[in-house]
Amino acid sequence: MEKKRTHLWIAWILVTPVILLRGFTTIYPVVTTFINSFFDIRLLKSPYSTFAWLDNYIKIFRDPKLITSLQFTAIFTVVSMLFHIIIGIALALLLNVKFKGRRFLRSIVLIPWAMPMVVVGLAARWAFNNNYGLINDLIRRVISSFQYDWLVYPFSARISVIIVDLWKDVPYFAILVLAALQFISEDIYEAARIDGANTIQLFTRITVPNILKTVLTLCIFFTIWRMTSFDVVYSMTSGGPGDSTSLLAYRIMTEAFTNLNVGYASSIAVILFLMMSGLSCINLFCIKKIDI
Amino acid sequence: MSYKIKKRMRTILIWFATLITALVILIPLYWIFISSITPEHELFTSPINYIPLHPTLKHYQKLFLSLNLIQKMFNTLFITAFALTISTVICLMAAYGFNRYESNALKIAQMSIVFSMMVPAIVKARPLYTFIRAVGLHDTFPGLILLYSSNLIPFTMLILGNFLTSIPISIEEAAEVDGANFFQKLLYVTLPLMRPAIATILMINFITCLNDLFTPLYFSNSIEVLSVAITTLPKDDMYSMPWELISSMGWIIVFPIIIFVCVFEKNIMDGIMAGGVKT
């Protein structure tokens, strides 16, 4: 039978709580952020706000701190996503193999996903310490004279942040890719094998086309999460050394809650939001193209 | 013969990859654990002793006795329990409304709720903060519970909605024919059928609540939950890090999670994948 088209008032009563709660915590703040971005609101200076046209937006491109943030956010997102896809798919293939260690492996892979990022980040802060950290200790077991303070230099601090992000989130990506892998029936592989396809051909001709759509869809979400990552930097580097690892999200929160520069923070948030939407649209367009 | 060798090679390769994955994930966890039971001064030694020489529980003792960890655990569980209950109840209602009735307005509302998942917290934070403060909910349990519940809604709606669509309407119609009224039908027919989806979503949402740092960090000061409390552990000076306390507190948070994940591996896996495929 069909869904009901009568007694719609019952449906509206049922959905009201969700809509109200979600509306107040999403639509209202987003609209306000958008409006605030055109105002000069500096709570440290005065409690009043004045209309500032596009001043906040112009300021973005003149603020060296922000340009550093933009740069690192771009690098972080691109590099991290690249490795998400490579390691994630490899791990998903491993998770999909039927063997005795499968349950063990699947439980283990869930652990990083389930751990709070703060715990991971704080542990990483210590793990990348030159003298007493885990990373250098493990390296010293091989090269005994190794000395390097990862979080002191911008370049290596950035690498460290990306590594930690990968450790925490690649397993989750892999599990979601696994969902798509499980839909590919074993028969197709069998048929291809009989036709003489080798392992590489099986992967590129059967596996990749079948999971491509899922992987691209996942990329939308994971890219957005990378672009708005906050926890990792907050707990691991506090944006340092200098501002080299302050991701946009961290920058926005510092401006909005520490410097109380609300108007400026809003305009960065709007820019970030627009970039995210733009990327998502491009991605959606690609997915549509594949469908045809 | 060569087929056999090939098969053995494959098995070795798979176990090797499993071993590497396990080591990469487990070594840091093991290291956090041993750090938590190593006396303070021994943490500042290099190389690290992977088997602690003088295991001690004094860091845990300090956390519980002088840093009031029980209170923070209570806060976390209290907020999580309420948020889980509220979000599940209102999402069940909404999922029923959205999936059993049809109109264009309803469809648009449903889409907007699921898509609101893509709006990042940082874009909303400042106005939301001002709003929550203005209505007097800042730094209160009701305020935090509402915000936590709201965070859970999109994913919960997605999972429950998908699951409800897979339950045939004819079952409900049969109940109606048998004389059940609207509430009886919902309570005795639909709800019991939803049980597996509810169990899964509760588990995933539990983890989400536990991991949330952003909400408690900006929307409360005095009510500390575990994820915030670990960042505010007392340190000797600005530049040092109380690693002995962080590692023991980290382990207190992580250990139950490890057990939880190992026990419910199948449910959680299915839940994550159910959400992933449809989105």
Instruction: Find the CB nearest A18 among B94, B101, B272.
Output: B94
Judge: A126–B265 Cβ closer than 8 Å, yes or no. Answer: no
pLDDT at residue A163 in the model: 95
pLDDT value at residue B143? 92
**What CA–CA distance (Å, rounded) separates B207 from B151?**
13
Give the model's confidence band at A237: pLDDT under 50 very low, under 70 low, under 90 confident, else very high.
Answer: confident
Partner B contacted by A268 (CB < 8 A): no
ipTM higher than threshold 0.85:
yes
Q: Using an 8 Å Cβ cutoff, are A103 and B265 in contact?
A: yes
Residues in chain B, pLDDT under 50: 277-279
* Cβ-count burial A7-21 (b if 16+ within 10 Å, e if not): eeeebbebbebbbeb
For residue A50, the SS3 value is strand
> Would you state the pLDDT for residue B279?
39
Residue A28 has pLDDT above 70, yes or no: yes
User: Is residue A1 scored above 70 in pLDDT?
Assistant: no
The rounded mean pLDDT for chain A is 88
pLDDT of A108-126, one tens digit each? 999 999 999 999 999 999 8
Q: What tens digit of pLDDT does each residue of A53-81 get? A: 788 888 888 888 889 999 999 999 999 99
- What domains lie within chain A, and their CATH numbers? 63-291 (1.10.3720.10)
CB A98, CB A112: distance < 8 Å: no
pLDDT of amino acid B1? 57
In this predicted structure, the answer to whether residue A207 has a pLDDT above a threshold of 80 is: yes
Residue extents of the structural domains in chain B: 2-56, 64-278
Q: How confident is the model at residue A92 (pLDDT cuts 50, 70, 90)?
A: very high
pLDDT band at A131 (very low <50, low <70, confident <90, very high): confident
* pLDDT at residue number B267: 85
- Name which of A21, A101, A127 is nearest B15 (Cβ-Cβ): A101
Q: Does position A292 have pLDDT exceeding 60, yes or no?
A: no
Label residue A250 exposed, middle or buried (CB < 10 Å: 0-12, 13-18, 19+).
Answer: buried
Query: Could you tell me which residues come within 8 angstroms of residue B234 by beta carbon, excluding any fewer than 6 positions away?
Result: B67, B242, B245
Per-residue pLDDT tens over the stretch A137-194: 888 888 888 888 888 899 999 999 999 999 999 999 999 999 888 888 888 888 988 8
Disruptive mutation site among A13, A93, A96, A118 for chain B (greatest number of B CBs within 10 Å): A118
Q: What is the pTM of this model?
A: 0.89
Classified by CATH at the fold level, domain B64-278 comes out as MetI-like fold (1.10.3720)
Region A230-258: what's the mean pLDDT?
88
Using DSSP bridges, classify how beta strands A50-51 and A39-40 pair: parallel, antiparallel or unpaired: antiparallel
CA distance B82 to B225: 14
